[in-house]
Amino acid sequence: MANNNNKINVSEMIADNKQKKNFSNITEKLVPALLFLITTVSILTTIGIIYTLLSEAIEFFRRVPIWDFFTGIELDPFGANPQFGILPLINGTIISSLIAMVVAGPIGLMTAVYLSEFASDKMRITLKPLLEVLAGVPTIVYGFFAFTFVTPILQAIIPSLGLTNILSPGIVMGVMIIPMIASLSEDAMTSVPGSMREGALALGATKLEVSLKVVIPAALSGIISSFVLGISRAIGETMILTIASGSSKDFTFDITQSMQTMTSYIVEITSGDASTGTTMYYSLYAVALTLFVFTLIMNLLARYISRKFREEY
């Protein structure tokens, strides 16, 4: 009787193992397929964005010559004789991004050097989260800060500064980008082996010399990548410039005057009276496509620089 029970138990165990094995095989086949579908979501989304921008931008370029669009210095979509030159928008975008990087670059890099090389562990644990709080502030808050606080201060220093100008939002954008540059640069510096620092110190170098002549060159690829990504972030910023920079479409290099960027133009047109099917409506997609190409080039440049100057230890 006991032998029969043992045979039944063994048979049940074999059946259970077969079921588990079949379930495991099915899972092994389904999981890679599921992961593949999840992976393709970002790719399909990018393809969808490109298709949407191209299909609508092509209609715009049927109405406005592409050469006039990219070389024109007059932008007046609301006029009786509409003009759609994008150079004023590109000019405003580049100038605002350069102002932001003049502020964010040195401060972010020096902050990274301090956190990586000079700050104690306790100080680093305290300061880094506080610094990254800036990255969590909504950009519309930065915009009102630039308009109501920074601009009046700058007007006291520069009397000719307009109520809306490109200088004030450019500076505030730089403050916003500081955490990105500081964090990425600090990570790159931290990855430099301690043996390189110890060797330089053993040869008589000071801690500052080690930071400037050993650590920064060794982490150069990560630092440059953080700068390029910072520029890309500045190019795509919207609300700060929309609120504090105004909507002037003049082609000028005077940073005390109002300028409009590509993102601000998109906000203005979408919130205005641009009816579907009009040339003004399709100009949104032409500007958005140009902005997409700008940011894509910056991201590709960051990847190229990271690979070109990467140091392996």
CATH architecture for the domain at 71-308: Orthogonal Bundle (1.10)
- Spatial distance between the Cα atoms of 57 and 186, rounded to a whole number of angstroms: 41
Average pLDDT of the residues in 77-98: 87
Average pLDDT over residues 102-109: 92
Domain locations in the chain as residue ranges: 2-63, 71-308
Query: Has this prediction a pTM greater than 0.85?
Result: no
Tell me the CB-side half-sphere exposure of residue 271, using CA atoms within 13 A.
Answer: 8
Rounded CA gap, 176 and 234, in Å? 9
Distance in angstroms (rounded) separating the CA atoms of residues 131 and 182: 9
> What does the pLDDT look like over 167-216, one tens digit per residue?
999 999 999 999 989 988 988 888 888 888 888 888 888 888 888 888 88
Tell me the mean pLDDT in the region 32-50.
84
